[in-house]
Chain A
């Protein structure tokens, strides 16, 4: 199965089960969780089911294209189901079958793996899913986001597309994956990995990124502070600047520009922003009367 067919199959699979197929976020994120379709929608009482591919960037993971399965940019397939359905594990296993992996032929297991994002003030409990000893997915029940208790709890599934594809195509490096019949993963990403690794580790302008962090942080705050009326706060633009600040921090981290002690302070600054935006988002949805909740109860009638 070609790399893109895995994506298409998973999208169809989850669309058929009521998920909204949304698009990747158009700013650099470290994981699919940063997409507002997960981070913000996981907050509050409204139901939400969505799936999407998220090209995630982790500058420190760059290896100049030399490592077979570690890249600074990689695709995750993210599913968020709120409230987490009772048969969520079964749904996940069916999705594996849909991409050609019958659990009965393998050893599939759910191994404890708790998840925490210090920058997002978010944590959850769950598993990594092992397929014959290979970790192919992360499975998390969100307990908190932005420091707020999640109620109801969302179930988050994150498929490591590269690993699954390597397994399905029986290749030893991600760059040997066939994206479709004509273009390899290596053609698409190998040069990019070298360029981005060189940039992140060697070339990134630290002063510019420090300045960007400060500016984005200030802008994010300003957009929330501009009015006390929850409907006049600019929640989404503010969140955008928080994501940009977090990315600036990640680049600085890879560049080795942040000392151990400073690192904690920067994380705390992002977390503080994440908490404010979560609070503003919750207030905004409440002021709007939690529209998706009303719609869901109407649908139930």
Chain B
């Protein structure tokens, strides 16, 4: 092939074995291990021990019902004839077969298995057409779509060629080695010799081997300059998919560029050139980089070229940095009115003003100190200023970090600079939430503003489409609250955020927005909490306005053994169902409504009193553990009650009192979780 994009290689290699296995299975061709290999210029799939032929077929096949298949005289009907033709037997060979559903006609299909060599060419052509690419293209005057143009094909079964066509290319046994180091035709004898033959032609076709060789050479190169490689998994994967035989070169850049923030240097090197950084023994950055290249016959020339590119990139970054530093962050605030946040929700400037207004409201509700709120307010004001800096325009992934770096260099208080850097956290699943209180507060406010605004204009994520990353914003908001163990009424906070959109035409009112968004956050919470889905669902169903509170309840409920939870679920479900019948009125001791009290009834009444005392009104982790243990202990008593006592007796006062007990129990426990959801089906 012509060079596939780096990311296509790994995806195709991952998908290939299953594609081939499925086809072999359909054809009843047994086989051993299947593995895929690939570089930017070739993809291969090798199945070991493929059977020489399909097994012969000898099976009984059921046809139409006997009443249709045979006429009054017992002769095969037209339907029977066509069935016979279909399975390749004479009509006389059909026979009756009794089944549960009555008599059917049946026949014996005997087929000789076809040789693999005749079946496989079509299989390989199909496999080629099924390789998934994120984006496919056509080329020349063909109609085939593939990741990049296909130039040669090999099909081998043992030592013989499997002839097929794909994308107007005919298969054979000829491959080509490294584009420059071994460009001549290379005959492949069989699959077993494939990897070694290509290795000799400067192609490491096994991605694992290629990666290993590359990583070793990177380590050696770093060692050769008394440095340590700065590891970067993305760069490893990417570079391994950009070359067929990795060579590593050490390059240099001028020391004066080390004055730039480290992240800038590494990101410029990585983003534009796919270079690795190197540290010295004390952890400082060296004015060097490691480049993975595909050809290195004249390393000095290649290094010279790469150095020149790196110098230009660094000079650009230095220019951006110096220019950016000339403008105090606060002076950039008016420029934010020129960047669109969303066409209906206004500019980033509008957003920042909403955030600044919301910070003290939410901060005070969270009980944060005036000092923290002041730092958060100032941080929120400056949080987005780096979006209009030259550097962030060039390298958007540096947003936040650049603002903090510029702020610090310009004399901003460190706690305010930290807000600028950290309020984007968590950026993804692997990134921790902001830890500082001011940073976390601004992180919350930023996300709340985005979510409330977007939901209010009906921009809900649908399926895979979530262009404004609302799911990530929601998860970030929840993770921040949980990390800080902050208690908050989300609905109230949403109303406060909604109030910030004064003068903006929104589609939903505050309550409808908060309802929609609350539902969305409930779903996300299920993914954020680590307890089993059923436990989280039960706790969320009780109430989810305060996510940290849900987490505490879910943790307490999750500590109770699953079978105990399920039993409690069943019995509480039953209680909740009949509780609906309960009339108003106080629950009375059983002895007050009947002459003779069944011991079970007395026990459940007493147990309920103990339970009520244990439940209390507390909301700490310990409170919840105590309460849920009490509920778990109460459940078997209630179960016994259902065994021994018939609730719906004719004696009305007695019946009502029993119903009231059910209602009281249900109400007392439903603050913690909806136990119905724990019942098994």
A binds B: yes
- Name A residues whose Cβ lies closer than 8 Å to a Cβ of B: 68-69, 83-86, 89, 103-112, 114, 124-125, 127, 131-134, 141, 143, 151-153, 155, 167, 172, 260-261
Cα(A183)–Cα(B40), bound, Å: 43
Q: Give 5 closest A-B pairs by Cβ, nearest first.
A: A132-B305, A112-B5, A152-B141, A110-B3, A107-B293
A115: shortest Cβ distance to chain B, in Å? Answer: 11
Q: Are B302 and A106 in contact (CB under 8 A)?
A: yes
Q: Are A109 and B140 in contact (CB under 8 A)?
A: no
Q: Are B3 and A127 in contact (CB under 8 A)?
A: yes
A248: shortest Cβ distance to chain B, in Å? Answer: 22
Query: Interface residues of B, CB < 8 Å — how many?
Result: 41
Q: Decide if B309 is an interface residue (CB 8 Å cutoff).
A: yes
Q: Are A125 and B135 in contact (CB under 8 A)?
A: yes
A161: shortest Cβ distance to chain B, in Å? Answer: 17
Cα(A93)–Cα(B270), bound, Å: 26
- CB interface residues, B 324-356, toward A, < 8 Å: 338-340, 343
Q: Are A109 and B312 in contact (CB under 8 A)?
A: no
Q: Are B2 and A83 in contact (CB under 8 A)?
A: no
Give 8 pairs: A residue, B residue, CB < 8 Å, sorted on A: A83-B139, A84-B139, A84-B140, A85-B140, A104-B180, A107-B302, A112-B4, A132-B306
Q: Are A105 and B141 in contact (CB under 8 A)?
A: no
Q: Are B151 and A132 in contact (CB under 8 A)?
A: no
Q: Decide if B260 is an interface residue (CB 8 Å cutoff).
A: no
Q: Are B301 and A106 in contact (CB under 8 A)?
A: yes
Contact of B180 among A84, A108, A143, A261 (CB under 8 A): A108
Contact of B273 among A110, A133, A153 (CB under 8 A): A133
Contact with A along B145-171 (1 / 0, CB 8 A): 000110100000000000000000000
Of A104, A131, A261, most buried by chain B (CB within 10 Å of CB) is A104
B504: shortest Cβ distance to chain A, in Å? Answer: 15
Cα(A167)–Cα(B312), bound, Å: 12
Q: Are A107 and B294 in contact (CB under 8 A)?
A: yes
B171: shortest Cβ distance to chain A, in Å? Answer: 16
Q: Decide if B295 is an interface residue (CB 8 Å cutoff).
A: yes
When distances are taken between beta carbons in the complex, the residues of chain B under 8 Å from A107 are 293-296, 302, 305
Q: Are B297 and A133 in contact (CB under 8 A)?
A: no
Cα(A196)–Cα(B18), bound, Å: 58
B299: shortest Cβ distance to chain A, in Å? Answer: 9
When distances are taken between beta carbons in the complex, the residues of chain B under 8 Å from A108 are 180, 295
- CB interface residues, B 105-157, toward A, < 8 Å: 135, 137-141, 148-149, 151
Q: Looking across the interface, which residue of chain B has its beta carbon closest to that of A261?
A: B343
Cα(A153)–Cα(B243), bound, Å: 27
Q: Are B242 and A111 in contact (CB under 8 A)?
A: yes
Contact with A along B232-267 (1 / 0, CB 8 A): 000000000011000000000000000000000000
Contact with A along B13-33 (1 / 0, CB 8 A): 000000000000000000000
Q: Are A133 and B295 in contact (CB under 8 A)?
A: no
Q: Decide if B488 is an interface residue (CB 8 Å cutoff).
A: no
- CB interface residues, B 273-313, toward A, < 8 Å: 273, 291, 293-298, 301-306, 308-310, 312
Of A127, A133, A141, most buried by chain B (CB within 10 Å of CB) is A133
Q: Are B309 and A105 in contact (CB under 8 A)?
A: no
B180: shortest Cβ distance to chain A, in Å? Answer: 5
Given A127-B3, A167-B305, check contact A106 B141 (CB 8 Å): no
Contact of A141 among B139, B151, B180, B294 (CB under 8 A): B139
When distances are taken between beta carbons in the complex, the residues of chain B under 8 Å from A69 are 312
Contact of B141 among A114, A153, A172 (CB under 8 A): A153
Cα(A132)–Cα(B309), bound, Å: 8
Q: Are A86 and B180 in contact (CB under 8 A)?
A: no
Q: Decide if B219 is an interface residue (CB 8 Å cutoff).
A: no
Given A153-B140, A261-B340, check contact A133 B305 (CB 8 Å): yes
Q: Decide if B6 is an interface residue (CB 8 Å cutoff).
A: yes
When distances are taken between beta carbons in the complex, the residues of chain B under 8 Å from A109 are 3, 242-243, 293-294
A251: shortest Cβ distance to chain B, in Å? Answer: 19
Given A83-B141, A131-B305, A153-B140, check contact A106 B295 (CB 8 Å): yes
When distances are taken between beta carbons in the complex, the residues of chain B under 8 Å from A143 are 137-138
When distances are taken between beta carbons in the complex, the residues of chain A under 8 Å from B291 are 133
Q: Are A105 and B298 in contact (CB under 8 A)?
A: yes
B147: shortest Cβ distance to chain A, in Å? Answer: 9
Cα(A260)–Cα(B336), bound, Å: 13
When distances are taken between beta carbons in the complex, the residues of chain B under 8 Å from A89 are 2
When distances are taken between beta carbons in the complex, the residues of chain B under 8 Å from A153 are 137-141
A45: shortest Cβ distance to chain B, in Å? Answer: 8
Of B137, B243, B291, B298, most buried by chain A (CB within 10 Å of CB) is B137
B179: shortest Cβ distance to chain A, in Å? Answer: 8
Given A134-B305, A153-B141, check contact A105 B3 (CB 8 Å): no
A212: shortest Cβ distance to chain B, in Å? Answer: 25
